[in-house]
Amino acid sequence: MIAFVIRRIIQSIIVIMVVGLVAFVMFRFVGDPVNQMVGLETSIADRELLREQLGLNQPLIVQYWHFISNAAQGDFGTSYQYRRPVSEILGERLPATLELALVSAIFAIAAGIPMGVYTALYRDSVLSNIFLTVSLIGISLPSFLVGILLIFIFSVHLQWLPSFGRGEVVDLGWWSTGLLTATGLKAIILPAITLGLFQMTLIMRLVRSEMMEVLRTDFVKFAKARGLKTRVVHFGHALKNTMIPVITITGLQFGSIIAFAIITETVFQWPGSGLLFLQAVQNVDVPIMAAYLLMIAFLFVLINLIVDVLYVVVDPRIRLEGS
């Protein structure tokens, strides 16, 4: 078990190093860092001095090492646009993105699992067909369209919910949350649905197919033949056995939720890291782009690791083999 976790951590570090290389290449070669920082009137000598100071004359491998070790300490350089440390800016924006992603994921799970179970158990019912039709829409509509549609209905037409921003935010020092104010809660509903709809559909379809598969297995038949209550057979025996693929997909999708937040954040002008990244791209603010890339990679790897450990918790077969 411990050996397994250590092995996975080493693999994760390798993945991060590779992504770090991509980020570094971008950082170093997309445009000239010196040109980005200095004005037009700076002399060649001054430029060379700056180049020396920034360590840009050193061998690439040394530069890469500096980049990675600085990044590991949370130092991603200075933003060209804001002239402030990237880590500081990202730190301000991250809570908004993570809260949005979390609420979306909860929405996707809380709606997706029951809908999946229902459609598997009552295959031919009217409600199942409605769920399946809606899920088809969820899968085929791009999220910016869903967002605009929701804004049109709930903000413009019904005027129930705000169409942009994060509402009032409570500052907890290291974290700013919108989940403690009424306006903040209202503001997160539409973006969370927009962002989570695709994942909800995915989870629902996954749970449905896994559940139908498990309901056909011998141990479910045997559980029925022993006269266990239908509820126990369905939820105790069948649903629990669908959880491994569901945990995998849900976990991995959490990474995608954060990554895809870029679009939703743009539609709803949500002040998160996705919006920051998009503005950085428009302004060729390479340090922010590189940092964002590394951050997303780190989150993906972290989530993967957690998913692997969760398997072990759910499935005794893996748990006992390792011990």
Partner 1 sequence: MSDVLLSVRDMVVDFPTRHGLLRAVDHVSFDLSRGEVLGLVGESGAGKSITGAAIIGLIEPPGHISGGTVHLDGSRIDNLGMEEMRRIRGKRVGMVFQDPLTSLNPLYTIAKQLIQTIRTHLDLTEKQARARAIGLLEEVGIPAADKRIDDYPHQFSGGMRQRVVIALALCAGPELIIADEPTTALDVSVQSQIIDVLKRMCAEHGTAVILITHDMGVIAEAADRVAVLYSGRIAEIGPVREVIKQAKHPYTKGLMRSIPTLTQTNDRLTQIPGTMPRITDRPEGCAFAPRCGHVMDICRSQQPATRSVGNCEVACHLETEGGAS
Helix (H) or strand (E) holding 282: helix 273-282
Residue 320 makes contact with partner 1 by CB under 8 A? yes
Answer for the pair 292, 71: CB distance below 8 angstroms, yes or no: no
Q: Which is nearer to partner 1, 71 or 207 (CB)?
A: 207
The correct pick among 43, 157, 316, 323 for binding partner 1 (CB under 8 A) is 316
Residue 315 makes contact with partner 1 by CB under 8 A? yes
Residue 185 makes contact with partner 1 by CB under 8 A? no
Going by C-alpha positions, the residue among 137, 261, 138 that lies closest to residue 191 is 261
Residues 6+ apart with CB under 8 A from 45: none
CB of 246 to partner 1, least distance (A): 14
Point out which span in 94-102, 185-193, 258-266, 313-321 binds partner 1 (CB under 8 A): 313-321
Answer for the pair 175, 95: CB distance below 8 angstroms, yes or no: yes
Q: Which is nearer to partner 1, 39 or 316 (CB)?
A: 316
CB of 241 to partner 1, least distance (A): 6
Site mask, partner 1, residues 221-260, x = CB under 8 A?
xxxxxxxxxx-x---xx--xx-------------------
Question: Distance between CA atoms of 176 and 94, rounded to whole angstroms?
Answer: 9
Phi and psi at residue 41, to the nearest 5°: -85, 0
Residues in the chain: 323
Site mask, partner 1, residues 199-218, x = CB under 8 A?
------------------xx
**CA-to-CA separations, 199 to 78, 117, 148, 241, 292, in angstroms, rounded:** 35, 16, 18, 20, 22
Binding site residues, partner 1, CB under 8 A? 217-219, 221-230, 232, 236-237, 240-241, 314-317, 320
